Amino acid sequence: MAEKQNIRSLSREELAEFFTAHGEKAFRAKQVYEWLWKKQAGSFDAMKNISSSTRALLEEHFFIHTVTIAEKQVSADKTIKNAFRLHDGKITEGVLIPTTKRMTACISSQVGCSLSCKFCATGRLDRLRNIEPEEIFDQVALIKKQAEEHYQTPLSNIVYMGMGEPLLNYKNVLKSVELITSEEGLGMSPRRITISTAGIAKMIKKLGDDEVKFNLALSLHAANDAKRSEIMPINEQNSLESLKEALQYFYEKTGTRPTFEYIIFKDFNDSLEDAKELAAFCKCVPCKVNIIEYNPIDDGEFERADADKTDKFAAFLENTFNLIVNVRRSRGKDIDAACGQLANKNKAGSPNS
C-alpha cells in the first residue's frame, strides 16, 4: 500500500485530480479544501458535509498534521507567548501582542536559527528544520483564535519575527503567506504582513523579482560594517553596500518602502555618531525606522540603552534628517516573549534535539 500523503501539501487542483481519479465528483475538492483551510479541520471525521465513504477514502490516502499549543504564558501586559508543538514533537514559539491600535501575531519560520546573532536568544539554538507552510499557517490561526477569545478583537497584523530567518525558508514562507491571504484561507491582506530578515541580499532581490505584496523589515542594528559584523556574522557575506543595492532593487520592483529595525544597545550603537551613520544608510531607499529597546538575555553581552538617550537618538533622526521613526517599547519581557528572547524556555520542555 502506498504511503499516506500530507493532504495540506496539495493544491485544490491536485485534490480535484485525486477525486476524479477515484470516481468521485471534482467539486469534492472545494469542500475538502474549505474544511482544511477556512475551517481548519484537524481530522477527516470533522468534515460533516462529506459522506462517510469519501471520508474513509481520504483517511486511506492522506493524513492531517496540525500544530498544537503545548504551553501558554500570559504576561502582565497581556502579551501571550505560545509554545507550539509540531507533528514531530519539536517546539517553536509564537506570540500574540495586543496594543491599543493593533493585535499582532509574531510567528516563527524555523525551529531554532542558524545565524548566531550575539544579542538574540534564538541565535544560540541550533537550526533543526524549516517550518512547513501549513505549520506557519496554523500558528497564525491559533493566535487569531486567541485574540478573539481573550480580547474579543480580530487579529490585525502578522510579523515573521519569531524564531528563524524567513528568507532561509523562502519557498515555505511565501506559500504560507499565500495561504494566509487567500480567501479560501484566513483572507488577511498582505499589507498587514511583515517579513523580517537579518539581511540576505540575493533573497531580498528575489522578493523583488517575485513582486511580493507584503512588507519587508531589515534587522539592521548597526550602520557600519565593523560593528554590524561584530554582532551579526551574516554581515560578513552580506555587507551594507550589498544590502543597499538589494533594497533599492526591491523598492523599484515592489514600490514598498522597507522598515529598518534598530535595537539600541548601551555604549555600542547609541551615540549621535551612530545615528548619523544610520541616517546615511537610510538615504538608499524611502524607509521607516523602528528603534527597539533591547531585551536582555541570559549571559548576554549587551545592556539596554538609557531611555533618555534612546529618545534623543530617535528625535535626532526625526528632526535632523526628517526620517519616520518609531520607538518600540518592549512587551512580554516577564515571560521571555519580547524581541530576541524566544528560546524555548517553557515548562513544556523542548524535545528539540
Whole-angstrom distance, CA of residue 132 vs CA of residue 342: 19
Environment class of 42 (CB within 10 Å of its CB; exposed 0-12, middle 13-18, buried 19+): middle
Whole-angstrom distance, CA of residue 187 vs CA of residue 183: 4
Whether residue 327 contacts residue 309, with contact meaning beta carbons closer than 8 Å, is answered with: no
Q: Which residues are registered as beta bridge partners of 325?
A: 289
Please name the amino acid found at residue 318.
E
> Could you tell me the three cell numbers for 235?
554581515
Helices (H) and strands (E) in the chain, counts: 10, 14
Whether residue 347 contacts residue 310, with contact meaning beta carbons closer than 8 Å, is answered with: no
Annotated catalytic residue 93: yes
Q: Which of 106, 113, 120, 339 is catalytic?
A: 339
Whole-angstrom distance, CA of residue 259 vs CA of residue 323: 11
Annotated catalytic residue 106: no
Whole-angstrom distance, CA of residue 101 vs CA of residue 326: 14
Q: Which of 24, 93, 165, 293 is catalytic?
A: 93
Whole-angstrom distance, CA of residue 326 vs CA of residue 227: 22
Nearest to 315 by CA among 89, 307, 81: 307
Whether residue 114 contacts residue 168, with contact meaning beta carbons closer than 8 Å, is answered with: yes
Q: At what angle do helices 170-181 and 133-151 cross, to 10 degrees?
A: 40
Q: Which residues are catalytic?
A: 93, 339
